Amino acid sequence: MKKQLALTPIHEVQGGGLLSPLANQPVRIQGVVTGRTRRGYFVQSPERSPDDRRSDAIFVYSPRRKARTGSLVEVKGVVVDYRRSETDRPTTQLKPFEIQRLSKRGPRVEPVWLTAELLHGADLAQLLNGLEGMLVGIPEGSTFAAPSNPFGDYVCIPPGLEGLRADNGGMLIDPAEPERWLPGFRITRYDEAPRLNVGAKLLSPAIGPLNFRADSFQIALQGEITFENRSVVPRSFEPAGDDRVTIMTLNGFNLDVHVENPELVGDPDRDVDDDKRYGRFELLAAAIVKQAGAPDIVALQEIQDNDGAEITDVVDASETYEQLIEDIRWLEGPSYAWADIPPKPGADGGQPGGNIRNAFLYNPERVELVDGSLRRLGEDDPAFDDSRKPLMARFRFRDAEIDVVNVHLASKRHQAGLFAPKNPGHDPREPIRLAQARLVRQALSNAGDYYVTGDFNDFEFSATLRELCGDDGTNMVERLPPNTRFDYNHRGQLQVLMHGIVPTRAVEAGAVDYQILHGNELIGVQPGAASGKASDHAYVMASIRLGHA
C-alpha cells in the first residue's frame, strides 16, 4: 500500500533565506495560488504562522503546468534549495510530482503592504526572508524611483519613506546605508509593461508574490497597474564664458559600429547589437552638440573596437569614432579629431571581444593635443590587470596647458548583494580601485592645471575619491547641492559614479564650473525593446579657466 504523506505547514518547509530543514525530502502542502511566473507559481497558506522569520508561501517550480491563480491546491513534491552558484543565497522551492485542485476559489489572501512604516528601521534581510513568496503590495501613491528598463523592472518609493530626494522625486544614495533596498516589481509581458520616467506616480497598488531573483527581492506583479508619468527635460550646458576650456564626460555604453556575427561572440543573446540602427550614435551626437554645446574635449568611456563584441584580434576603433564624428558634423557640430591607445586583445576587461577603452574627441579649432603627451597609465601595474587603463593627455588651450586623465576604474559588478548569505555588501574590488587611485595621483605629482574625470565606479564619500583628491585636489561633485549629486540610477538609488577632480587652488580662484546634465539617467525605455538610450549615465560638463594652478 502506498505510504501517505502527512500535511506539512509551508512555514516548516521554508528556510527563511537559509537552507530548508526539509531539503531533498518529499512533502505535501496545501495553499492558495497567489501568482505565477514563467517558471512556476506561488502557493501560500491562508493564515499567517506565529514564526515571522519563515514564510507561509513557497514557489512551485513547474514551467509547463501552472495552477490557476486564486485556486486552493494540494501539492506533493520534493523540497529543493535552489541557487545559481554555491555563493548565492538559496531560495526554497518545491519540485512537484502530484498536483490536485481542491477548489476553484480558495480563501482570500490579504497582501502584506510594504509601507514606509514597515520598512523604516527594519532588519530587511530578516523581514523579507519572512515574506519570501508571500503576497505583498506596494501602496498607491508611491513614486517610481528608477526609469523603466528593457526587462520590465520597476522600483518604487512608498509614501513617507525617509531619505534625501531629488527635485524629480528620485531617492539619492545614503552614505550611511549605500545598499538600501527599495521595493519593486517585474512585469513579464512586455506589451503590458509601460515606459515611464523617474518621478512617475503609482495610482493603483502593485500586488504579487515576493520573489527573490537577481540577488534581490522583487514582486512578481499580478494584474495591471495605473500610473501618472512625469516628463523629463534633459538639462543643457550653461557656459561660464568663452575664456575657459570645456570638457564633457560621456560613457559610450559599449558603443561600436558593427553588427556582430553570432558565431563569433561569447553570448549570442546578449552580445549582438546594432548601435547604428538603434540610433545610439545620433543620440550621443545630439548630446554632444545640443546639450553640451559642442565642448572642446569629450572624454569617452566604453568605446568598443570596430567589430564590437566579436572575439577576434581586432582592437582598432577608428570606424566607431568616425561614425560618431560624422553624426556630430551632420548636426552642424565641429569636425572633431579623436585620440586613443588601443588595448591588447582581451586585456582590459569589459564585454568579451569588445576591447573597451577610454578615448578623447577634441576640437582642433579650439585645442591642440600636445605631441607625445598621450599615454595609458598602469600598463604594467597589477592594480590594472584585466582593467581599463586611464588615458592621459595634455591639451593646449590658447597660451596655457591642462593635463586630462580619463579613467574607468574597476567595476562594482563583483560586489556581494544586500542579501548575500556571506559578507553582504562586501566589495572585493574596493582595494583595487584604491590602488588605481594612488597610481593616478602619482601621475599628477608634477602637474599644473589638471582634470581627472571618467567613470570611477565609486561614490564621492568613498576612500577611492579621497585618495584621488589628496590634500590639494577638489572633487567638484561636492560643490554641487546635495540633491543634485547623481549621474547614475542603480535599482532606484541615484548616485554619482562620474566625478571631476581639479586643483583646489583653481576652485578657490573661481576658475572651475561643473554641471551634471541630468536627464539621460531619468528617462525610461520601452520594456522588451532592444535599446532606447544612448548611455546609462548622465553627461557631465566642466569649464576651466587655465593658469590658476
Instruction: Dump pLDDT digits (tens) for 3-13.
Output: 678 999 999 99
Which domain, by its residues, includes 15? 10-103
pLDDT tens sequence for the chain (549 residues): 356 789 999 999 998 777 899 999 999 999 999 999 999 999 999 988 877 888 999 999 999 888 999 999 999 999 999 988 777 888 999 999 999 999 999 999 999 999 999 999 889 999 999 999 999 999 999 999 999 999 999 999 999 999 999 999 999 999 988 889 999 999 999 999 999 999 999 999 999 999 998 889 999 999 999 999 999 999 999 888 889 999 999 999 999 999 999 999 999 988 999 999 999 999 999 999 999 999 999 999 999 999 999 999 999 999 999 999 999 999 999 999 999 999 999 999 999 999 999 999 999 999 999 999 999 999 999 999 999 999 999 999 999 999 999 999 999 888 888 888 888 888 889 999 999 999 999 999 988 999 999 999 999 999 999 999 999 999 999 999 999 999 999 999 999 999 999 999 999 999 999 999 999 999 999 999 876 688 999 999 999 999 876
Q: Give residue-wise pLDDT tens across range 236-282.
A: 998 888 899 999 999 999 999 999 999 999 999 889 999 999 999 99
Residue 467 lies in a domain: yes
DSSP state of 480: S
Q: On the CB side of 396, how many CA atoms lie within 13 Å of its CA? A: 10
Please state, in angstroms and rounded to a whole number, the distance separating the CA atoms of residues 43 and 134: 8
- Residue 27 in domain: yes
Exposed e or buried b per residue across 424-439, where buried means at least 16 C-beta atoms within 10 angstroms of its C-beta: eeebebbebbbbbbee
Check if the beta carbon of residue 525 is closer than 8 Å to that of residue 533.
yes
The pLDDT of residue 422 is 83
Residues 148, 203 within the same domain: yes
Residues 406 and 389: their CA atoms lie apart, in Å, by: 9
Query: What pLDDT is stored for residue 532 in this prediction?
Result: 67
- Judgement on whether residues 284 and 432 belong to the same structural domain of the protein: yes
* H or E stretch covering 118: helix 116-119
User: In three state form, how does the secondary structure of 4-17 look?
Assistant: CCCECCHHHHCCCC
The predicted pLDDT at position 272 comes to: 94
Q: Are residues 464 and 315 in the same domain?
A: yes
Q: Confirm whether 191 is domain-assigned.
A: yes
Assess whether 267 and 339 both reside in one domain: yes
Chain-centroid distance, C-alpha 479: 24
How long is the chain?
549
How does strand 297-303 pair with strand 357-362?
A: antiparallel
Q: Of 79, 103, 127, which one is at a domain's C-terminal end?
A: 103
pLDDT score for 1: 37
* pTM, to two decimals: 0.94
Measured CA to CA, the distance from residue 433 to residue 338 in angstroms comes to 27
How many domains, in total, are found in the chain? 3
CATH number of the domain enclosing 95: 2.40.50.140
Domain boundary among 49, 79, 103: 103
Do residues 534 and 253 lie in contact, with contact meaning Cβ atoms separated by under 8 Å? yes
Residue 411 dihedral angles phi and psi, to the nearest 5°: -70, 160
